Amino acid sequence: MEPILEIRDLVKRFGGFTAIDRLSLTIRKGEIHAILGENGAGKSTLMNMLSGMLSPDEGEIRLRGEPVKFTAPGQAVSKGIGMVHQHFMLIPALTVAENVLLGMKQDRSPLFRFKKACADIRKISDAFGLDVQPERIVGELSVGQKQRVEIVKTLYRGAEFIILDEPTAVLTPAEVEDLFRVLRTLKAQGKTIIFISHKLQEVQKICDRVTVLRLGKLIGTMEMGETNPAELARMMVGREVAAPVRKSTSQGKATRLEVREVSVTENGAVRLQDVSLQIREGEILGIAGVDGNGQRELSEVLFGLRAKQSGTVLLEGKELAKPHPRKMTDLGIAYIPEDRHKEGLMLPMSIAENLISKQYRESKFSLAGIMHWRRIRSNAEELIRQFSIRATGPNHPVGQLSGGNQQKVILARELMLNPKVMVAMQPTRGMDVGAAEYVHERILQAREQGCAILLISTELEEIMALSDRISVLYKGRIVGTVDREAADLDQIGLLMAGITSSSSVAI
């Protein structure tokens, strides 16, 4: 197979930070090539340069032997490079046909002929087994369907070279299989595919060759058959992956948080169905599952951000009748939200102000409605020291901190409550390894101090590393709960796919 894409000594910097450091890589025509790496390794930056959303600072990209320079995505598209982004670039208010046709001319005519567009799209959809309905409004489609629309978009534009950025992050296991089938069909028709991921098992299943990136550098490129997951993991992380040392389990201690038969419906769709779980003092219960199976709803219900249709939640045996974020905080429930920028912080405000956003009404921070800024500042100084937050001081705007430091601010704020219960959603999302380790340490420390922790994460490795017990959430139901010692990755993977031990048929 001859090379279709060559990257030579590519460099990309953002200010003083080098995202891609002298990267050289060759992609062969007709292969499915995986780009592996952790969050922050540079995968998305690299792909954004290939697809024209970013320009490299140094280095060269050669497509079919000729050097190319992209300053806008349209140029890459015209050269046959199509990109399916992790966050879909689709317009919800318009139909599939309108989304696919946007920016293109049908037969050089300025008119937009809806019927013809639908016919053409159906042709492509059938040719590649994509099952896309052009008349539907994109906002009404499922995640998997939307992804296929994105693929159709690239094919309609004559893409020979398709880049998929973390395509399986939002798919159910069944949808992942569908996607793989589509990718194999595309490959059979001569397309070249780049598959960006951090999920080793999937990469192993579908890809021919794999390239590992770490901290913006190329670590190695190998044929899939010549390597194994352990080796790949080591290359991704740079060292042996070790589970953190934990003390003994919390046998015999009291139940701190109990959830009984909680159900949540939204717009007629069931999001949670009869969910029950218990967490004891000093225990970490990990909720595993693919994103979109009810995790967000569960955490929101527990923290009072969402109403439940039935069921009860009990804290230390007492029912929480009408949960509300403020009440939960007063009762000692800490909450680390999934999206720290949107839900966890006021970015233009200072560290000091963010640290007290749950406790500002306490008498040590305000009296008779007047804020006590000196105490608020010194509290911040203390926490900055304790949590080693890298900043110029308590007045430093939180929006200017790195992701890891921002999460430290959130952690500090929550742990300052001396919480009895902590609900942590994706606590290390988008953080580099060092910062993630710090977060894990702190969570374990809280566990030592008797906090009952509900850890919700789509990263199975994280769940396995931290949890005492693991439950799996699938389509809004708890489909299985195991102790950490007895847990088996394959079994959990099956549960995540909806296959319980009592039946071999998916739910």
Partner 1 sequence: MHASVAGPAAAARWIKGIVEVGFYVGAILLALLVSGLVMAIAGVSPLESYRLIWEGAAGNANSVKETLVKATPLLFAGLSYTFAYRCGLFNIGAEGQIYVGALAGTIVALYIPGLPGYWHLPLCVIGGIVGGSLWGGIAGALKIGRGASEIINTIMLNYVAIYLVSYMVTGPIKDAGGNLPQTARLPESAILGKLFDSRLHYGFLLAIAIAVILYFILNHTVWGYEIRSVGHNPVAATVMGIPVKRNVLLVMMLSGAVAGIGGFVEISGVQNRLFQNFSPGFGYDGIAVALVGGAHPLGNIGSAVLFGGLRSGANSMQRLTGTSTSLVYVIQATIIILVVCNRYWFGGLKRRLILALTARLGNPGEKRPKLSFNLNEQEGKG
Partner 2 sequence: MNEEIIASYLAAAIRLSVPLLLAGIGILFMSRSGILNIGMEGMVLIGALSGVLGAHYSGGAGAGLLFSMAVGGCIGLLFGFLVITTGADQVVIGTALNLLGLGITTVFGRSLLGMGQEAVKVDAIPIVGIPVLRDIPFVGEALFHQNLLAYAAYLLVPVVSFLFYKTQWGLQVRAVGEHPLAADTLGVRVHRIRYLCCMIGGMLAGVAGCSISLGILNQFTENMSAGRGFIALSAVIFGKWTPSGTMAAALLFGGADALQLRFRSFGIQIPYQFMLMFPYLLTMVTLAWFSGRNRQPAATAAPYKSLANRNT
Q: What residue ranges bind partner 2 (CB under 8 A)?
A: 51-55, 71-75, 77-78, 83, 85, 89-94, 98-99, 101-106, 110-113, 153
Interaction between residue 229 and partner 1 (CB under 8 A): no
Angle at 434 between CA 433 and CA 436, to 5 degrees: 65
Element (H, E) at 3: strand 3-14
14 binds, among partner 1, partner 2, none (CB under 5 to 8 A by kind): partner 1
From residue 247 to residue 286, the character string flagging contacts with partner 1 as x (rule: CB under 8 A) and all else as - is ----------------------------------------
Q: For residue 79, count other CB atoms closer than 10 A to its CB.
A: 17
Interaction between residue 358 and partner 1 (CB under 8 A): yes
| Distance between CA atoms of residues 446 and 453, nearest Å | 8
92 binds, among partner 1, partner 2, none (CB under 5 to 8 A by kind): partner 2
Interaction between residue 391 and partner 1 (CB under 8 A): yes
CA nearest neighbour of 50 among 235, 177, 211: 211
101 binds, among partner 1, partner 2, none (CB under 5 to 8 A by kind): partner 2
CB 336 within 8 A of CB 422: yes
Distance of closest approach, residue 153 Cβ to partner 2, in angstroms: 8
Q: Which is nearer to partner 2, 115 or 123 (CB)?
A: 115
| Distance between CA atoms of residues 186 and 188, nearest Å | 5
What are 87's two structure tokens? Answer: 């966050």
Interaction between residue 366 and partner 1 (CB under 8 A): yes
Name the one range near partner 1 by CB under 8 A: 196-204, 210-218, 283-291, 374-382.
Answer: 374-382
Interaction between residue 57 and partner 1 (CB under 8 A): no
| Distance between CA atoms of residues 58 and 18, nearest Å | 12
Name the one range near partner 1 by CB under 8 A: 40-48, 64-72, 194-202, 357-365.
Answer: 357-365
Residue type, 97: A
Distance of closest approach, residue 260 Cβ to partner 1, in angstroms: 24
Convert 431-489 into a string of H (helix), E (strand) and C (coil). CCHHHHHHHHHHHHHHHHCCCEEEEECCCHHHHHHHCCEEEEEECCEEEEEEECCCCCH
CA nearest neighbour of 64 among 49, 80, 45, 86: 80
Interaction between residue 98 and partner 1 (CB under 8 A): no
CA nearest neighbour of 287 among 421, 54, 96, 469: 469
Interaction between residue 56 and partner 1 (CB under 8 A): no
Which DSSP symbol is given to 4? Answer: E
Name the one range near partner 1 by CB under 8 A: 36-44, 115-123, 321-329, 485-493.
Answer: 321-329
What are 287's two structure tokens? Answer: 């909720």
Contact residues: partner 1, CB under 8 A: 14-17, 303, 305, 324-329, 335, 337, 342-350, 352-353, 357-358, 360-361, 366, 369-371, 373, 376-377, 381, 391-397, 399-400
